[in-house]
Structure 1
């Protein structure tokens, strides 16, 4: 299965993606890491365009073909990127579910954006102004929505796993 997470920066996508990947023993494909790695290679300038997403689609497809659950972690602000993720699942013969991560409390969302540190060397996080001015196309049809404003990560992930109808893989040896 391909679990496609999207949402504005600072809503908690990566935090949710990591916790979900741990619970499901899934592959976490993070576009921020891929994009920054491409920048660091010196092969492209800072505006790498779709290269990070295209590389992520390939990594996801390879892992889906191996029957791994894949969690795609990216802003997905454009319908074209969301459609491309769905196409990856279709070409792999796997199911996909779209999950939009939001933070409905704008004060909390801004606090997160303005206080978080990057965990990807060299990655410049967007400012609150850049986030609020970003083009962010509406998700139609509406995906599953997870609001990170008032609940903790463990509770959100447990709820998400339940909504997805997934069962944690056994940790037995």
Structure 2
């Protein structure tokens, strides 16, 4: 069976990290978090946040290395642009992997805002975007099928179970 690339995207504070972490625990898949990669780049170079496409490019290449060795990967990132979505899909397919694209949403604006204003990203030195920055962020509409998971309606465990179920061949 070919490896699987699960791309978990969505706006900041929608619940991506919580769901992707739970999914990694349940599946044993490798877990790549673009925020962690970007913060490591900021810590080790003169670059400041935002670092542009660098974090994503590093993540694509690390994911490709893992997929080529038969290891399934969960890649968690905002993934707000069609170009990044295409790059993830191309990364997986070039390595002979199956690809499952997921979009995490929080359909309750009050809950989404609460999360944005109270969360700890767990990444030393990382400053998360403000609610205003999240609302104003460029986020291109999806133009192809993906699994949409609403964290206002599902617990992180339920969301991870839904994605894991969709990932089964």
TM over 0.5: yes
Aligned residue number for residue 89 of structure 2: 86
Per-residue CA deviation, residues 81-113 of structure 1 (Å, 9 max, x unaligned), is 000001111111111010000000111100000
Could you tell me which of 146, 151, 155 is aligned with 2:149?
Answer: 146
Tell me the CA shift for residue 162 of structure 1: 1.6
Q: Counterparts of 1:114-133 in structure 2 under 5 Å?
A: 114-133=117-136
RMSD value, Cα: 1.1
Structure 1: 5+ residue stretches without partners = 167-173
Pairwise CA distance, 1:154: 1.4
Mapped partners of 1:4, 1:144: distance in 2? 10
Question: Gapped runs of 5+ residues in structure 2?
Answer: none
Aligned to 2:166: 163
The question of 1:104 aligning with 2:112 is answered no
* TM-score between both structures, scaled by the size of structure 1: 0.92
Alpha-carbon deviation of 1:54?
0.3
Which digits, 9 at most, give the CA deviation of each residue in 1:97-151, with x for residues without a partner? 1000000011110000001012101110000000000000011113110000022
User: What is the count of residue pairs matched by the alignment?
Assistant: 166
Give me the TM-score of the superposition, normalised by structure 2.
0.94
Residue 35 of structure 1, aligned match among 9, 33, 38: 38
